[in-house]
Amino acid sequence: MAKLHISATVNGEPTEFLCEPDETMLDVLRGPLGLTGSKEGCGSGDCGACSITLDGRLVCSCLMLAAEAEGADIRTIEGMAEGDTLHPLQRKFLEMAALQCGICTPGMLVAAKALLDRNPDPSESEVRYWLAGNLCRCTGYDKIVRAVLETAAEMREAVR
């Protein structure tokens, strides 16, 4: 099978890569692009560890073909901090111990950011249900939910 040549924007950078037609976006991110922050927890779209945004839409990169990235704007955990400055969600997760082993954290953060991008004032239920596709086996979610709510409040305060 001939490889496909794909041009996309990844974390704001124009990016080209070659992929097999049956390769997933996750495999390409973790392989040729060296962006290993996205994790494979299940390969079936059930755990959310591979969450990225595709043109602003939250997707499981394990369920997306790499070829679908043609012309798209892809954002991963690696694009979340600005240089050394952590995104407010990352800072809050650190401060509140909303992570333990860290394997779910990239997906959790990408998903949480996607929520706040469209809903800057979510209720606790909205946070819990939005993140219901992201498995965390360590924390019990309590601090994650609280960290997202507190970040949302701070970000609303900041734009006021």
Partner 1 sequence: MSGSAADGVPASPLSYLDRPNSYIGRSVARPNARRLLAGQGQYVGDIVLARMLHVAFYRSPHAHARIGRIDVAAAAASREVVWVVTGADILGICKPWVGVLGHLKGMKSAPQPALALDRVFAQGEPIVAVVARSQAAAEDAVQKIAVDFEALPPLTEPEAALAEGAPVLHPELGDNLAFERRIEVGAVDAAFAAAAAVVEDTFDFARQTGVTLEPRGIVADYRAADGRLTLYQSSQAPHMMRALMARQFGLPESDIRVVAPDIGGSFGIKIHCYPDEMATVALAILLKRPVKFVADRLESFVSDIHARGHRVRGRMAVDAEGRILAFVADALTGVGPYSAYPRTSAVEANQVINLIGGPYVFPAYRARARVAFQNKVVMSQYRAVGHPIACTVTEALIDRAAAALGLDPAEMRRRNLIKDDAYPVTSAVGLKFEGLSHHRALAKMLEMMDYEALRAEQAALRARGIHRGIGLASFIEITNPSPAFYGAGGAPIAAQDGCAIRLDPEGGLTLQASVGEQGQGTETVLAQIAASVFDVPLARVRVVTGDTDTTPQGGDNWASRAAGIAGEATLQATKALKANVLEIAGALLQMPPARLDIRDGKVVEAASGAARFDLAEIARMVYFRTDALPEGVKPELMATRHYVPRGYPFAFTNGVQASYLEVDTATGAVTLLKHWVVEDCGTVINPLLVAEQLRGGIVQGIGGALYEECVYDEQGQMQNANMADYLVPMAAEMPDIEIGHVAGTPTAESELGAKGTGEAGVAAAPAAVLNAVNDALRPFAARVTAQPMTPECILRALGKLPSRRGAAGPAFG
Q: What is the binding site for partner 1 (CB under 8 A)? A: 27, 30, 35-44, 46-47, 49, 76-78, 80-81, 86, 90, 93-97, 99-106, 109, 127-129, 131-145
Q: Return the number of the residue (54 or 86) whose C-beta is nearest partner 1.
A: 86
Q: What is the CA radius of gyration of the chain?
A: 16
**Tokens 């041009």, located at residue:** 7
How far, CA to CA in Å, does 159 sit from each of 119, 128, 152, 155?
Answer: 14, 24, 11, 6
56 vs 102, beta carbon nearer partner 1: 102
Could you tell me the smallest distance in angstroms from the CB atom of residue 57 to partner 1? 19
Close Cβ partners of 101 (under 8 Å, ≥ 6 residues apart) = 137, 138
Least Cβ distance, residue 73 to partner 1 (angstroms): 18
